[in-house]
Amino acid sequence: MYARRRRIYFVLMGVCLFLFVSAWSFVRLLSVEAAVALCVVAMVIPPVAAVVANRRGPEDRWWDAPSGDPKSDEWWDELDGKRRPPDE
């Protein structure tokens, strides 16, 4: 799932870069208003890409969800203060 989100992020950022470069390379020769509109669209894409890249999927483990490994879960619970450490 992480690879898919990363791929989508890079595609969105590539589209953003393409829009910005093309707006001031050749679209401005046809219409300055269209070039400005392309830049406005390109300006909106990076925040959307960041939200997409940082979104947690339904199968992603959340920070407090048990991992299924009892030793690891016990260790994290001890660090979080949920359980007292075993007396040795």
The reported pTM is 0.65
Helix (H) or strand (E) holding 19: helix 2-22
Residue 11 has pLDDT above 90, yes or no: yes
Q: Which amino acid is at 2?
A: Y
Distance CA 8, CA 30 (A): 31
Cβ distance 9 to 52 under 8 Å? yes
Q: What is the pLDDT of residue 72?
A: 78
Pairwise CA distance, residues 41 & 69, whole Å: 46
Interval 23-73: pLDDT, tens: 999 999 999 999 999 999 999 999 999 998 888 776 666 666 667 788 877
